[in-house]
Structure 1
Amino acid sequence: MGKYTITKDLRDVQRIEKLVLPTNFPIGPIHAYLVFGEKLTLIDTGLKTDQAWKELNIGLERLGLKLTEIEQIVLTHHHNDHVGLLDWILEKHPTVPVFAHRDTLTFLQDEDYLDWTGEFFKTLLQEFGLPKEMAYKWAFRKRGRTLSNNLEIETVLQEGDKVPGLSDWQVIETLGHSQDHLSLYNAKDQMLICGDHIIKGMHSGIFLDAPLYGKPRARPLIQYFQNLEKCKNLPIKLTYSGHGPDIDHLAEVIKATEENIENRLQRVINALKKANGSATGFEIIQDVYRRRYEKAVITFVFEIVAVLDLLEERNIIIAEKTNGVYHYRLVDY
């Protein structure tokens, strides 16, 4: 069975199979998981590409399974490398129920929300200090529905829920990477399926989602720290991540992740010191990322916005708005 062999061969432990599906992203392949509970459950689906679709079907075949034998699907979050193949799965297997966070469907398909998203990011980017043309370009880039199907969520999952058909698994809301991110915890076997919440040896990334209809913008890095603490305190022997290797010492990986974040905070503090204690977000990005920022402005905006949120919450900086643009000032400078 090659890479599709049982990932943890322990007697009386829930059987989980990993499907390694290619992406065109620097982070590498995405991991979808088959959990053999009361119902055969697919956790996430992979990016919508011909190669990922081929690998998904090859992986099922190697396990002696057909696509139509999957009895339910659970989505950890709405990012396209985790949900994209759902379109093609539903074409072949239209009756399979899909479970997800209460907001996942909005992020994927709500046309009014998607239109509002562009306007929200245009304002945010301009307030962050980006020139108007650049702000418009990145706010409205290739934005649209991730799925072409009119998806229906069979069951909305939230904190503390048991997953139907997987009675040993409980839902943990792990917001931060996205605003609909779920992880699944098996207390009996002390296992965690964490999507992109924790990735060993990699920066899991903090992404901004436009707020839902009149709600304030989330502070994702603050959420992320809180939810790392939530996972740190659980008895967990093995963690299955959406990318990278399995994690068998979760507390150590969480500590390394937190240290990485603290280093990013210090880089922003250093950039502000070089700017005599005050700068716009765009000026910070230009200093911290220099030659790299122009190719992926939105990614770096998301990261630095999140870092600035945390610095502000810790009373290290103050945000002051002048002529429609925020300037971030070190409190003790």
Structure 2
Amino acid sequence: MIQQLTIPTPYAVGDVNAFLVKSDTLSLFDAGPKTPEALKAIKAGLKESGYTLEDIEQVILTHHHPDHSGWADAFPNAELYGHEYNNLWLTRDPDFIQFHDKFYMERFIEQGVPEKALGIVGKMKRAADFMAERPLDHILTEGDEIPGHPGWTTLETLGHAQSHLAFWNPERKELIGGDLLLEKVSSNPLVEPPKGPEYPRPKTMLQYNASLKRLLDLPVEMVYSGHGMPVTGVHDLIEKRLQKQHERAMKVYDMLSVGPQSVFELTVQLFPAAYKRELGLTLSETLGQMDYLLELGKVVQKTDNQGIHRYEQA
């Protein structure tokens, strides 16, 4: 049994999905944002199937983002599973939080963000207000079986988040996919800090593309996704999404015909209104396209005397 619970969020993305899965164990995959409205919806969805918060034996996170992890601490009898990266947020690890701010400050300076806009760094932790506050009981890694759910295994599918996992059942040809593949929109490969300063910046667009391409090698017929309805026609949709992403990257490439530009300068042109509201998201998108073009050998990156990375056609 797989039952979708639709949960309201305070975010522009709208509702988020959690999935109640009954096998040898009763598990909930994802847990909505930590708002009263979300908890009410979770309780109502469970009641519809004859369950309460106390009946859930496992909560399994696809990733740490607040719309998916918020009420992971609402189930008194549940063990919590997920990627190790979740713990950095679920425990509010102080070393990581300090590194988090330093990471974004350095990235924004490299991207040419004006000094007056650098104050956004201090606001980027607000998402933690809607996250659970309890550590994982068990860490899941690539290939791990899901306890109590024979046939379901873990796939590490980084890109949209540095904690992102999906869960695959080859017999059913179904995937519980989190935000890996959504019905109506393409997920943003968000630039996030690595686990610590000793690791390089994750190239999230390249990670995300690789995670999508993994699904092309699997006979997936249904993806239970984090937003919207379950996805069918999976391979065709992935091919279309990858092609659209390539086309967006080539549009950015053409913008470089006038000479070297920074990520911020390109972002202002690509998202003339949205960058003012969602600077972090739009910078992530643009930086991802530059990583992609660098990987193709289409552009070169140079650093000016202010420490700003500028990109030009190769």
TM-score range, shorter chain: over 0.9
Contact between 1:162 and 1:169, CA under 8 Å: does it hold in 2?
Answer: yes
1:50 corresponds to 2:36: yes
Give 3-state SS (helix, strand or coil) of 2:178's partner.
Answer: coil
Taking the aligned partners of 2:302 and 2:236, their CA distance within structure 1 comes to 37
Give 3-state SS (helix, strand or coil) of 1:171's partner.
Answer: strand
After superposition, the C-alpha distances for 1:76-132 in whole angstroms (9 at most, x for unaligned) are 000000001224x14xx1x31000012210133212101111111011101100112
Taking the aligned partners of 1:142 and 1:173, their CA distance within structure 2 comes to 25
Q: Which has the higher contact order (CA 8 A, sep 6+)?
A: 2
Contact between 1:16 and 1:33, CA under 8 Å: does it hold in 2?
Answer: yes
Report the Cα offset of residue 71 of structure 1.
0.7
Distance verdict in 2 for CA 1:101–1:146, change over 3 Å:
farther
After superposition, the C-alpha distances for 1:46-77 in whole angstroms (9 at most, x for unaligned) are 01111111111111111111111111110000
Q: What pairs with 1:1-333 in structure 2 (closer than 5 Å)?
A: 15-87=1-73, 89-90=74-75, 93=76, 95-108=77-90, 109-135=92-118, 137-143=119-125, 145-146=128-129, 150-213=133-196, 214-273=198-257, 276-323=258-305, 324-331=307-314
After superposition, the C-alpha distances for 1:226-257 in whole angstroms (9 at most, x for unaligned) are 11111111112211000122112110111121
Report the Cα offset of residue 148 of structure 1.
7.4
Contact between 2:72 and 2:80, CA under 8 Å: does it hold in 1?
Answer: no
Taking the aligned partners of 1:148 and 1:279, their CA distance within structure 2 comes to 37
Contact between 2:82 and 2:139, CA under 8 Å: does it hold in 1?
Answer: yes
Taking the aligned partners of 1:175 and 1:292, their CA distance within structure 2 comes to 25
Question: What is the total number of aligned residue pairs between the two structures?
Answer: 310
Supply the AA of the counterpart residue of 1:288: L
Contact between 2:65 and 2:131, CA under 8 Å: does it hold in 1?
Answer: no
Taking the aligned partners of 2:51 and 2:191, their CA distance within structure 1 comes to 37
Contact between 2:31 and 2:70, CA under 8 Å: does it hold in 1?
Answer: yes
TM-score (norm 1): 0.90
Gaps spanning 5+ residues in structure 1: where? 1-14
Taking the aligned partners of 2:274 and 2:146, their CA distance within structure 1 comes to 42
Distance verdict in 2 for CA 1:147–1:295, change over 3 Å:
closer
Report the Cα offset of residue 149 of structure 1.
6.1
Taking the aligned partners of 1:253 and 1:187, their CA distance within structure 2 comes to 19
Gaps spanning 5+ residues in structure 2: where? none
Segments of 4+ moved more than 6 angstroms: none
Taking the aligned partners of 1:110 and 1:147, their CA distance within structure 2 comes to 16
Between stretches 170-179 and 251-260, larger displacement belongs to 251-260
Distance verdict in 2 for CA 1:248–1:152, change over 3 Å:
same
Report the Cα offset of residue 150 of structure 1.
5.0
Superposed CA RMSD = 1.5
After superposition, the C-alpha distances for 1:136-195 in whole angstroms (9 at most, x for unaligned) are x12111526457765231211011110111121000000000111000001111110000
Taking the aligned partners of 1:188 and 1:98, their CA distance within structure 2 comes to 25
TM-score (norm 2): 0.95
Give 3-state SS (helix, strand or coil) of 1:184's partner.
Answer: strand
